[in-house]
Amino acid sequence: MNIEKLHNELSKDLTKIKELKPMIHHITNYVAMNDSANITIAIGASPIMSFAHGEMEELVSVASTLLINIGTLDEYIIQAMMLALNTAKKNNVPILFDPVGSGATKLRTTTATTIVNEGVDVVKGNQGEILSLLGKEGVVKGVDSKAEIDAEVVREVSQKVKSVVVATGKKDFVTNGKKVYVMANGTDMLGKITASGCMLGSVIASFMAVQKDYLIAAIEGLACYNIAGELAAEKSEGSGSFRQNLIDEIFNITAEKVVDRIKLEEIP
């Protein structure tokens, strides 16, 4: 994945998203719903947010990507996730999973483990959440994990959960279990708004609808999001304006803006 290839794929895939307006079915948390819907539209796709059991099969079977995010849970929502997973698998709908808070509570770790065991296509989390999927006791403490991750570990997780893995942090790792990429883009401001990780999930899910190599889709989504973040930070006066500018920058993102700033390396 050199810069030229990224430029070509991204150019093509951004255009496809805007043309096809793929339906991204979200089962996500109450805090992020509005932001995730807005950023999904901003990149060009079409969000649906529903956890109603009675319509899950109808909606997920015609979706282009299913996004599952465990940021706020109850029994009903967990069942909705299982129904949705099942329908997605039957209909070959790609699945992005965001294990918010996995490692912080038993409920989240158990739910996350159950979901990755069902089989998903991309797992996106912060480093602590990703580490928790290894099932090693005591790796994560609290919700804001300070755990360090490296190419080795992220590859191990990917092989274990049999999916592309995106581990965000000071640097972001993306792997399909074989190749590992590290990206050094982004801004501290992305940590100053809520639903930041959730919105990244929505952007990656939008690329998964048009790019069948999910390693590439994950890199595209992460690159657009981080670089939109950099551009937004430069013109923001605080976290309130940053949030709005981030959505504006995703709305206006181009392959050119991305390749201009991308810091992407393959780790051997």
> 236: alpha, beta or left, given left = phi > 0 and alpha = psi -120 to 50?
beta
266 binds its own copies (CB under 8 A): no
Q: In Å, how far from its chain's centre is CA 143?
A: 18
Each residue 5-44 as x (binds its own copies by CB under 8 A) or -, in order, gives ----------------x-x-----xxxxxxx-xx--xx--
Q: Binding string to its own copies for residues 160 to 189, with x set by CB under 8 A, is what? A: ------------------------------
d(CA 240, CA 49): 24
| Residue 3 lies near its own copies (rule: CB under 8 A) | no
Name which of 240, 246, 155, 255 is nearest 200 in CA terms. 246
Q: In the bound complex, what is the minimum distance in angstroms from residue 125's beta carbon to its own copies?
A: 16
- Of the candidates 206, 213, 198, 256, the residue with the CA atom closest to the CA atom of residue 20: 206
Report if residue 159 touches its own copies, rule: CB under 8 A: no
Closer CB to its own copies, 94 or 101, in the complex: 101
Residue whose tokens read 């790792």: 173
Q: What is the CA radius of gyration of the chain?
A: 17
Q: Torsion angle, CA of 27/29/35/39, rounded to 10 degrees?
A: -30
Sequence letter at residue 1: M
- Show the binding pattern over residues 208-247: x = contacts its own copies (CB under 8 A), - = does not: ----------------------------xxxxxx-xxxxx
Q: Which position among 13, 121, 220, 249 is part of the footprint of its own copies (CB under 8 A)?
A: 249
Q: Choose which of 1, 7, 20, 72 interacts with its own copies (CB under 8 A).
A: 72
For the segment 130-149, give every residue that binds its own copies (CB under 8 A): 142-144
Buried b (16+ CB within 10 A) or exposed e, 133-148: beeeeebbeeeebebe
Residue 257 touching its own copies (CB under 8 A): no
Residue among 162, 156, 154 nearest 182 (CA)? 154
Smaller CB separation from its own copies, 46 or 168: 46
Q: Cβ of residue 44: shortest distance to its own copies, in angstroms?
A: 9
Structure-token pair, residue 167? 């581990």
Query: What region, left, alpha or beta, does residue 47 occupy, with left being phi > 0 and alpha being psi -120 to 50 degrees?
Result: beta
Pattern 96-135, binding to its own copies, x per CB under 8 A? --------xxxxx---------------------------
For residue 203, list its beta bridge partners.
Answer: none
Query: How many residues in the shown chain lie near its own copies by CB under 8 A?
Result: 60
CB of 49 to its own copies, least distance (A): 5
**Contact residue for its own copies among 118, 156, 213, 248 (CB under 8 A):** 248
**Contact positions vs its own copies (CB under 8 A):** 21, 23, 29-35, 37-38, 41-42, 46-55, 58-59, 62, 71-74, 76, 104-108, 142-144, 191-195, 236-241, 243-252
